[in-house]
Amino acid sequence: MTESTLLQELISLAAARTPHAKALTCGEKNLTYDELHTAVHRWSSGLMGLGLARGDRVAVYLEKRFEAVIACFGTAAAGAVFVPVNPLLKPDQVAFILQDCNVRVLLTSPERYTLLQASLPACRDLRHVVLTEPAQPGYVTPGPVVDAVQLSCWDGVLSSNVRSGHRVIDVDMVAILYTSGSTGKPKGVVLSHRNMVAGAKSVVSYLENDQRDVLLAALPLSFDAGFSQLTTAFHAGARVVLLNHLMPRDVLKAMVKEGVTGITAVPPLYIQLSQLTWPNAIGERLRYFANTGGRMPRETLTALRQRVPRARPFLMYGLTEAFRSTYLPPEEVDRRPDSIGKAIPNAEILVLREDGSPCAADEPGELVHRGALVGMGYWNDAEKTAERYKLLAPDAPGRHNGLQLPEYAVFSGDTVRQDSDGFLYFIGRRDEMMKTSGYRVSPTEVEEVVYATGMVGECVAFGVDHPTLGHAIYVVATWALDTPATGLNDLINECKSRMPGYMVPATIEMVPGPLPRNPNGKIDRKLLSGGWRNDPAANALPAPAAALEPCHAEH
């Protein structure tokens, strides 16, 4: 059987094998592999007709729908680079991404385009905006926001003359996935065709996916594990059900209706699902459920296994910088429920000391990922790339003295230990990044938005352990001197208008200024967070409703 080397070949090869098999489901509509393959190449031709150069960036700012999937794989087929943008992000955050990676083409809906209009003039490299559908009756389609921007419609782009895409090879970049960075601004993780195809093959091998599977895409496609539902399904010739759910019950209904055999989700959603009654029909079809984006509470895992006793649980850990990293085999869950498992197929996970030498059994060290899934670095950020993507020592495991070319690996920043049987256990982060609702969130990113309200003089953000979110976000702040008399609710509402729900602080405590400093003169985040982290009552506080939105996910 021919093997895929480029991302779009996952679809074309499946279409050659089983052209009439269903590939995608969205609502009441389905696309077969043949229909999906045709649409992918029509979008590719359309991009070439727009004059897209090899490696140009195409942003997709949509909820999960056929056009989003077609555009990502069609962009790859054109020899360009797709940038899936989380549909929860606010206009200014979207505009930052478009500027940061010099997006040339933006695909979005008329409604989302209207929201973006005030932010798009700053996106100087943008040349084309493609809308998913014509405007509804009575709706005035906005004109170009910048003189150089051409407005097109999805059907018009797909009706372009047939053109071949640029020639690329598997080490060329194909995607940029944005994830929060420690400096406050999101970082674009660059992935190659090889990264994504190798990831699909690896995941399929241990989940044992085949063309009989029906996978539920419950996570955003901007999240590595969310997009992985597409790549693994297409490699196996399986069907993917695209779901934009509002309530956890919507997930269960979709699983019953579509006969879902595999679901991957994050702990906050599983916690909500575990509190519901599951129809018996789910257990008759579900082969596995997989967790990512943080540790699943043991009581939640127990409850899920009681509801679907025949389904196999896969506990996974991964890095956007390397797509996937480890999984715990289901047969080990009872013996090692706190383990993140071992390396996935075709990857090696090392636990290294500061000097690059391997740690002994049960000695804490940094998790380092080497192999075909290691990404290409952060877009246009040499400093951050150098912090995470480093050369392995010449005598590192798997390296030999006779090798002349160096090898880069991802140094995760996560502290782990490896037991004598080779199983890994997560200990903690080496930086101050927070993990909430499955997303990585930078304290600085939160602080910058709070400062932007103009209502605070000083502020500091930090994460506090939370039983359902992983971390709840807390902010300690002082009022700005020239702030008019306003209440705390006004500040919180301002945050909600500027942040996606998962980033909105659970608590903002206003205190007299100035905030305490450390010896370097910076606000002492560790001192301020210490009281909250050591206060059991604080940890027991409920999460804000927005933070529990089940569609949130970031690795």
Among 64, 499, 441, 85, which Cα is nearest to 251's?
64
Q: How far is CA 353 from CA 108, 162, 314, 321, 322, in A?
A: 46, 54, 29, 20, 20
* Model pLDDT, residue 538: 46
Mean pLDDT value of segment 232-242? 98
Contact by Cβ (8 Å): 262, 288: yes
C-alpha angle 442-410-529 in degrees, rounded to nearest 5: 25
DSSP labels for 101-141? TTEEEEEE-HHHHHHHTTTGGG-TT--EEEESSPPPTT---
Mean pLDDT value of segment 333-346? 94
Three-state DSSP at 338 gives: coil
Residue 531, pLDDT above cutoff 50 = yes
Strands 434-436 and 439-441: antiparallel
CATH (one of 3.40.50.980, 3.90.1150.10, 3.40.50.10190, 3.40.50.2300) for 26-192? 3.40.50.980
* Model pLDDT, residue 521: 61
Q: How far is CA 404 from CA 194, 291, 395, in A?
A: 23, 39, 12
* Model pLDDT, residue 540: 43
Domain boundaries defined on the chain: 26-192, 434-548
CATH (one of 3.30.70.890, 3.30.1330.20, 3.30.300.30, 1.10.1760.20) for 434-548? 3.30.300.30
Q: What is the amino acid identity at position 56?
A: D
Residue 307 in tokens: 């509801």
**Distance between start and end Cα atoms, the chain:** 33
Rounded Cα distance between 471 and 480, Å, is 27
Give the single-character DSSP code of 322: G
* Model pLDDT, residue 529: 80
Residue 552, pLDDT above cutoff 80 = no
Rounded Cα distance between 452 and 551, Å, is 26
Mean pLDDT value of segment 204-210? 97
Tell if the pTM clears 0.95, that is, is over it.
no
Rounded Cα distance between 120 and 85, Å, is 15
Strands 326-328 and 342-343: antiparallel
Contact by Cβ (8 Å): 66, 24: yes
Peptide bond into 514 cis (omega under 30): yes
DSSP labels for 268-280? HHHHHHHTSPPPH
* Model pLDDT, residue 397: 87
Mean pLDDT value of segment 303-325? 94
* Model pLDDT, residue 15: 98
Give the single-character DSSP code of 358: B
Residue 526, pLDDT above cutoff 80 = no
| Burial letters 99-117, b for 16+ CB under 10 A, else e | bbbebbbbbbbbebbbebe
Q: Region of 537 please: left (phi>0), alpha (psi -120 to 50) or beta.
A: alpha
Residue 182, pLDDT above cutoff 70 = no
State the DSSP H helix or E strand holding residue 187, giving kind and residue range, or none if neither.
strand 187-192
* Model pLDDT, residue 146: 61
Q: What is the largest CA-CA distance in the chain?
A: 71
Residue 151, pLDDT above cutoff 50 = yes
Percent of the chain with pLDDT strictly greater than 70 = 90
- 166-178, pLDDT tens digit by residue? 999 999 999 999 9
Among 460, 459, 468, which Cα is nearest to 435's?
468
C-alpha angle 148-149-150 in degrees, rounded to nearest 5: 120
Q: Which of 88-102, 507-521, 524-538 has the lowest mean pLDDT?
A: 524-538
Per the prediction, the chain carries an average pLDDT of: 89
State phi, psi for 108 to the nearest 5 degrees: -155, 180
Q: How far is CA 39 from CA 46, 71, 157, 159, 292, in A?
A: 10, 9, 11, 10, 31
Residue 32 in tokens: 């077969």
Mean pLDDT value of segment 202-208? 97
Rounded Cα distance between 92 and 449, Å, is 11
Strands 103-108 and 57-61: parallel
Three-state DSSP at 72 gives: helix
Three-state DSSP at 37 gives: helix
Residue 346 in tokens: 């075709």
Rounded Cα distance between 141 and 388, Å, is 44
